Amino acid sequence: MVYITRKAEFCASHRLHNPKLSDDRNRALYGPCNNPNGHGHNYTLEVTVRGIPDPQTGMVMNLQELNRLINREIIDRVDHKNLNIDVDFLWGVIPTAENIVMCFWQLLEKALPPFCALHEVRLWENEHNMAFYRGS
């Protein structure tokens, strides 16, 4: 089994706020990420798939094809968007890196060709904070 990773970047804004909690509690919980009018992040996404390299091509999956798939399923839908409002698959989700990465997993898993498997999705919110998901 061989693992390959494709990296992509996008910029988006969000606000972390749980309407079931008080404003004070939200401020204490999320700090600057609870700013009423939102704020932005430069996100980095890393998608790792695994498979057995095809003997003819030497590839688990063509990285250009993986790039197209990531752009179509994720980047085109989130880049320069407000994650609380503009992105239908995040409606009703508090857009923490943890929650976003799980939603990305669902979309990518459905879109991958049958000869390889999604192994890991990593989402860097900035250079210090990252969440990864392996499907369970």
| Stretch in the footprint of Ni ion (CB under 5 A) among 28-36, 46-54, 58-66, 109-117 | 28-36
Q: Which is nearer to Ni ion, 60 or 101 (CB)?
A: 101
The active-site residue out of 9, 39, 80, 109 is 80
State the sign of the Cα–Cα–Cα–Cα dihedral 132, 117, 104, 126.
positive
Q: Which is nearer to Ni ion, 45 or 66 (CB)?
A: 45
Instruction: Give the footprint of Ni ion on residues 85-114 (CB under 5 A).
Output: none
Strand partners, 7: 46
Neighbours of 75 (CB within 10 A): 15
Nearest to 136 by CA among 105, 112, 115, 111: 105
| Beta carbon of residue 128, minimum distance to Ni ion (angstroms, whole number) | 12
33 binding Ni ion? (CB under 5 A): yes
**Catalytic (active site) residue 17:** no
> How would you classify residue 44: left for phi > 0, otherwise alpha for psi between -120 and 50, otherwise beta?
beta
70 binding Ni ion? (CB under 5 A): no
CA 28 to chain centre: 25
**Catalytic (active site) residue 116:** no
CA 44 to chain centre: 8
78 binding Ni ion? (CB under 5 A): no
| Beta carbon of residue 104, minimum distance to Ni ion (angstroms, whole number) | 16
Contact footprint for Ni ion (CB under 5 A) = 33
The residues annotated with a catalytic role in the active site are 33, 80, 125
